[in-house]
Amino acid sequence: MSMSRTMFVRGVLVLLLGAAVAFAQSPEEFRGRIIDNIETKGNTSLEASKILSRVRSRSGEGFDPKTASGDAERIAELTSVEYSYYNIEEVEGEVVLTFVVVERGLIRSVKFTGNSAFRDIALRKKSGLAVGNYLDPVMAEAGRSDVEEYYHEKGYAFAKVEMDGKYMKVGKVIYRVFEGPRVRITSVTFEGNEIFGTRKLKLVAKTRSRKFLLWPAYYSKEKLDKDLLKLRKAYQKRGYLDSNIKAEPTFDRLRSSVSIVFTISEGAIYSIGKINFVGVTEYKVSELRKDLKLKSGMIYNEEHAKADTKRILKTYQEEGFLGAAVERKKRFSSGNKIDIDFIITESERFRIGQIKITGNEGIQDKVIRRILNEYEFTPGSWYNGDQARGDGKGPLEKIVKRTVLAESATITAIGEKPGQRDAYVDIIEGRTGSLMLGAGLASDSGVIGQFVFEQQNFDIGNPPEDWKDFFTGKAFRGAGQTLRISLEPGTEVSQYSVTFTEPYFQDRPISLDVASSSYERGRESYNEGRIRGYVGFEKRYKSKWYRGIGFRIEEVDIDSIDVDAPQEVIDDKGSNVIGGVRFGIGKDATDNRYNPSKGYTLNAYAEPVFGDYGFINMGITYRRYRTLHEDLAERKTILATKLHGGVIGGNAPVFEKFYAGGSSNMRGFEYRGISKRGLQTGVPTPVKKDQIGSDWIFLANGEVTVPVLEESISALFFIDSGMIETGGYRAAIGTGVQIMIPQWLGPVPMRFEIALPVMKDDLDDTKTFSFSMGKLF
């Protein structure tokens, strides 16, 4: 709401100033005149380049009043700008376009009075205002509303926050707080529900009298309203269109406690009758009908109906029908049936004209254009209005945003030519570099320290012109490449690496990876150290397939060998040099790269290895995901399965063979606890003791993830099984807890697992408890 008010105020200011100050002549008189130069005026702390990054008008092109007005509006959206307008000046038959800005004042203080439940520092954070930021009366009002809402969320249902505006002119923001009592929920009951039990409804409605069965819960009208919407949605989703749900809070005399009753009238369940299409000429009705989720005879589902409406619109928009519209009408018929009419308004079809990119000061145009090229969003092709929706929510817009790490990316169709629309790609740049200091702990690798530098807008071809470029961030920046430097010393594992990635080698959808690394780890009867160099190429296809080739060369040192180490380990002692050429092919057909609920992935490889040893390593991994159940709160219970097989042909050293066990493949067993064992040496009575690896491996895993608390905490139930060349088939069953931790590029699971081996070999090393960060599946 505050954003719309901000836009309204700015729009009025632009119109008033544009009418009163900006023009001695109507801008229409200059339409089509060549723009000689574009200048800025009024900016003192704001750089001209930042202003001009929002401008779509171009020197050397014809002046368009509509474009210039849009430029002024986009400039006014900058945080430091109060309002903006433009002036036109005629110079020798051409025009000079000047954008005038008025910058905001600064906040000198943010204070609160009357607050006792929360400290000033907490309320100041909730207000979103900070000393030194630009002062915006609209944002100050939004801050007041946010603080009041914060009190309501915390159970102060009758709290009010007022703003004293008389000190705003001198940069002081003062809020007066009237807290009132904190309202505790004493009981939550449901009445009238017959189809769904109270236990199921409580999965949807989060309003309850206790948190985690122990701590008191407090009343929030906003949360209660959200629960009502969720309950209505849950009933309507299952065909109960006449359902009526109300919430009745009853406060005590002091308004310090409340009891809540959800009253439910479920009504009748409706099924689908006829499905009709009106206004279709560009497609066959059968083509549109085949992709619908709704089918005659099914229970009516409002969410499916909305999804089908969007799906029909998508069919039109992705083929260039940008103005197409789809309206859905429901008609109730006898027998509790609903007939559905999809009324389609078709439109002119458009191809892409020019593609213009703005806002990318630190990102080269080609970085963005090659992303568009990969997804066939190019001049002359049909304008895919589904991929590029103009609001930042289209799939292609999200891909651009994610790939260049922008704060936002929008692709807008502009122009008036028949059959053609230009595409304006507007980027608001984000942070592309990061420096991470930290530590980690895992049952398979011990304690690990981390120092990681990563720049994901690297440019190896842009060396600094002088030392200043290092400090301003201009050096080695702009080409969308990735440079990662990682130093990870640890108690059991230490690894150090430098990796360079060019995601579009020769501006094609081919990634180039160049890496060097060193690795040290203590093994069962020896220490292993690796120095590695790698170059790899991977080509991506529209069908989600990819294939690649990689070249590695490694020096592997085997030292600190135990006195009773197996002969197989002794044979590999010292420095070993190997090289390999890895051929790979794969496909990712999942619905979500971070937390898939359906689909599959497939990866297969073959790697001939040469050097001090000659052998070939081959393997294949298949993962499938399936949603078993979706509850009333739309939380999914997911079955994930994995099959993996690998085989080595030839004479491979112990450090290249297969091992099983650990959180990554066979829980219930120690890391590398499943292996062929070598006979001791140097002892009077040798036995098979230390691991020497297997020439082949097979793994079969299954896991069910059941949501417990929201979507962040889930219960795990799994079975891991497999075998190697010795010891027969192994299996373990177990359970655990998964906690999803938000990260920059997506959630990462932390897992705590308990597993019990039910089939094992006498020589296997078992382990009941394990924990890890990352995904098994």
Asked whether 697 and 712 are in contact (CB, 8 A), the reply is no
Which DSSP helix (H) or strand (E) runs through 636?
strand 636-650
pLDDT band at 639 (very low <50, low <70, confident <90, very high): very high
Stated pTM of the model: 0.73
To the question of domain 567-578+588-773 being in CATH 3.40.50.620, the answer is no
What is the average pLDDT score of the chain? 90
Token pair for 635: 């939380």
- 212 confidence band (pLDDT: 50, 70, 90): low
pLDDT tens for 184-210 read: 999 999 999 988 888 889 888 888 888
CATH number among 1.10.150.130, 3.10.20.310, 2.60.130.10, 3.40.50.12160, domain 184-265: 3.10.20.310
Residue 545: pLDDT over 60: yes
Q: What CATH number is given for 106-178 in this structure?
A: 3.10.20.310
What is the signed CA dihedral for 410, 411, 415, 417, rounded to 10 degrees? Answer: -170
Burial 205-225 (b: 16+ CB within 10 A, else e): bbbebeeeeeeebbbbeebbe
pLDDT mean over 723-735: 96
Neighbours of 266 (CB within 10 A): 16
| pLDDT per position as a tens digit, 640-669 | 999 999 999 999 999 999 999 998 889 999
Q: Comparing 355-359, 363-367, 439-443, 693-697, which segment has the lowest mean pLDDT?
A: 439-443
What are 20-38's pLDDT values in tens digits? 444 446 788 899 999 999 9
Asked if residue 631 has pLDDT above 50, the reply is yes
C-alpha to C-alpha distance for 36 and 62, rounded to whole angstroms:
10
One DSSP character per residue, 649-709 reads EE---GGGSB-B-BTTTBTTB-TT-B--EEEP-SSSS--EEEE--BSEEEEEEEEEEEEEE
| Per-residue model confidence (pLDDT) at position 735 | 97
Q: CATH 2.40.160.50 in the chain: give the residue spans.
A: 567-578+588-773
Superfamily the domain 2-103 falls into: membrane protein fhac (3.10.20.310)
pLDDT at 166 > cutoff 70: yes
pLDDT at 262 over 50: yes
Asked if 376 and 386 touch (Cβ cutoff 8 Å), the reply is no
pLDDT bucket at 469, cuts 50 / 70 / 90: low
Contacts of 346 (CB under 8 A, 6+ apart): 279, 280, 281, 282, 316, 321, 324
Domain with residues 271-345, CATH architecture:
Roll (3.10)
**Regarding beta strands 574-588 and 545-559, do their DSSP bridges make them parallel or antiparallel, or are they unpaired?**
antiparallel
Please give the Cα distance from 500 to 502 (Å, whole number).
7
Question: pLDDT value at position 6?
Answer: 45
Tell me: the pLDDT tens digits for 590-618?
A: 988 778 999 999 999 999 999 999 999 99
Give, to the nearest 10 degrees, the angle between helix 120-127 and helix 137-153. 120
- The per-residue pLDDT for 135 is 84
**Taking 60 as the threshold, does the pLDDT of residue 3 lie above it?**
no
Which residue spans of the chain are classified as CATH 3.10.20.310?
Answer: 2-103, 106-178, 184-265, 271-345, 351-428
Please say whether the beta carbons of 94 and 33 come within 8 A: yes
**In this model, does residue 214 exceed pLDDT 80?**
no
The pLDDT, as a whole number, for residue 171 is 87
CATH for 351-428 is 3.10.20.310
pLDDT class for 743, splitting at 50, 70, 90? low
pLDDT (tens digit, 9 = 90+) per residue, 307-326? 999 999 999 999 999 999 99
Six-digit token string for 383: 């304008």
